[in-house]
Amino acid sequence: MTDLKNYKGRYLVAVSGGPDSMALFDMLRKTGNHLEAAHVNYHKRDTADRDEELVRKYCEEHQIPFHLLNVYPEETEGNFQAYARKARYAFFASVCKENDLDAVMVAHHKDDLIETYLMQKEKKLGVSHYGLAKETFIARTRIIRPLLEMDKKALLKYCHENQIPYGVDESNLQNGYERNRIRHRIVEQMDDHEKDEILDEIETLNQSMRQKQQIIQKDIRNHYEADEFLALPYLYDHLRLIFPGHSLRYYEEMYRQLSETDRCVLRDDTTVLAKEYGSIDVFTIPEDYEHIFPSAEELKEGDYDHFRISGNGSSVEALTVRADDFPIRIRNAKAGDQIRMRFGSKKISRFFIDRKILLKERMTWPVVLNRKNEVILLPGLGCDKYHYSQNPDVYVLKL
């Protein structure tokens, strides 16, 4: 039995209502940690509401906060599994942030680890870790998998011995999804010895991966000259570390774009690799920000994460405001933003291109908007034709 006593903190538990997550939920409850539950109802089967009610009832019985996300298949586009995963982890991240929780506990177990590895092997995915890692970060959120040493049978046994209610997801019994096929036709047919052999194989590969990563880590930086980056040893492995979990063809296409184009932007949910102006930058996608100033009295000197309001500055940081401009908002620049010039309007993106401003700077560059949602100042680059004067009220400086 996995010992969870060493985990101390405030945790969000991903609880589907199945035996794995219900066993984990009950084990964690007995540790005395602060717990909150996150349940996603995908509305894809008749018993989905049953599982939601099962988790909700358990939470009410033990006075545990319950958080629900509804995902409706008819409202999604593209691959449902990919969409659902992205929505699920975004939901977990928002709940953790709003409730000051340390991490998300997920009930992946030994059989899941083996299934994941066999899928990686079958698809020839380029990964930074084979199988499932005990801890990782997804959507900027710490994910912990404390049950990787237990198998499905042990978790079912725990539920039965402790009279923990659970529901069975009928879709997991079918072979429509590739993971289900691998589970039923391969993993469930293995005995304990065969599973241990696979686990040894996974550990050997991960040891080799860690040795290679130690070499790669010496070269990993946030900024490179483009030719320098393309000449790196183990370049595909660099790309795998930055964007894990894709096929070899995916990395070959990345390499093609990086080597054949003057400017390209590669990104996933959290990371950007941008080639522009002869250099390559790798950075985490910054969070959007917005500050609201209801009146002139509140638009006073002060430092913020990406800008400073000051009584001094240059002419391209100067702003004259009127009473009908309030409330004023200062946020990061976004696609589609425009500013009114003496002769027509100009897109903010055009300012950035003209001045060869790097993407990592653009994504946090502040813009000042009036109550009509019009951009009236692009700090460091200029204001619109209605808000310039020789005696400005305030200066907004980009940090």
pLDDT, tens digit, 9 for 90 and up, residues 304-340 = 999 999 999 998 999 999 899 999 999 999 989 999 8
- Tell me how many domains the chain contains: 3
Residues 342 and 296 in one domain: yes
Q: Which domain holds residue 113?
A: 10-193
What CATH number is given to the structural domain containing 92?
3.40.50.620
Q: Domain check: are 148 and 227 in the same one?
A: no
The answer as to whether 209 is a domain residue is no
Three-class DSSP category at 375: strand
* Domain end point (choices 263, 284, 305): 284
pLDDT over 90 (residue 165)? yes
133 pLDDT more than 60: yes
pLDDT digit string, tens, across residues 81-92: 888 888 999 999
Nearest to 388 by CA among 372, 368, 365, 364: 368
The verdict on 144 and 14 lying in the same domain is yes
- Pair (163, 223) in one structural domain: no
Residue 91 resides in a domain:
yes
Q: Do 335 and 316 lie in a common domain?
A: yes
**Where is the domain boundary, 284, 310, 327?**
284
Asked if pLDDT for residue 175 goes beyond 60, the answer is: no
* 185 occurs within a structural domain: yes
Most confident among 74-78, 113-117, 238-242 (mean pLDDT)? 113-117
Rounded alpha-carbon distances, angstroms, from residue 143 to 15, 25, 101, 197, 242: 14, 15, 11, 26, 18
**Is there a domain that residue 202 lies in?**
no
pLDDT of residue 84: 87
Question: Any idea of the CA torsion for 287, 288, 292, 296, to the nearest 10 degrees?
Answer: 90
Q: Please tell me whether residue 282 adopts helix, strand or coil conformation.
A: strand
116 and 244 part of one domain: no
Q: Are residues 101 and 184 in the same domain?
A: yes
Q: Identify residue 332 by its one-letter amino acid code.
A: N
Residue 143 binned pLDDT confidence (cut-offs 50, 70, 90): very high
**Are 51 and 122 in the same domain?**
yes
Residues 28/12, Cβ–Cβ less than 8 Å: no
pLDDT exceeds 60 at position 176: no
160 is a domain residue: yes
**Are residues 149 and 295 both part of a single domain?**
no
pLDDT at 74: 82
Q: Using the predicted structure, report yes or no on whether residue 177 has a pLDDT greater than 70.
A: no
Residue 232 lies in a domain: yes
Question: What was the pLDDT predicted at 182?
Answer: 84
Other beta carbons within 10 Å of 196? 12
For residues 274 and 168, membership in a common domain is answered with no
pLDDT average, residue stretch 352-366: 94
pLDDT at residue 317, as a whole number: 93
Q: Residue 120: pLDDT band by 50, 70, 90 thresholds?
A: confident
CA atoms within 13 A on the CB side of 46: 1
103: its two tokens: 């991490």
Return the pLDDT at 170.
66
228-263 residue pLDDT tens? 999 887 788 888 888 887 777 888 899 999 999 999
127 versus 198: which is more confidently predicted?
Answer: 198
Same domain, 87 and 73: yes
The mean pLDDT value of the chain amounts to 90
User: 174 and 25, same structural domain?
Assistant: yes
Q: What is the pLDDT of residues 9-56, one digit of tens each?
A: 999 999 999 999 999 999 999 999 999 999 999 998 888 999 999 999
When mean pLDDT is compared across 57-71, 160-174, 182-196, the lowest value belongs to: 160-174
pLDDT (average), residues 158-185 = 80
Show which of 193, 210, 231 is a domain's final residue: 193
| pLDDT of 243 | 86
Q: What SS3 class is residue 331? A: strand
In a domain, 326, yes or no: yes
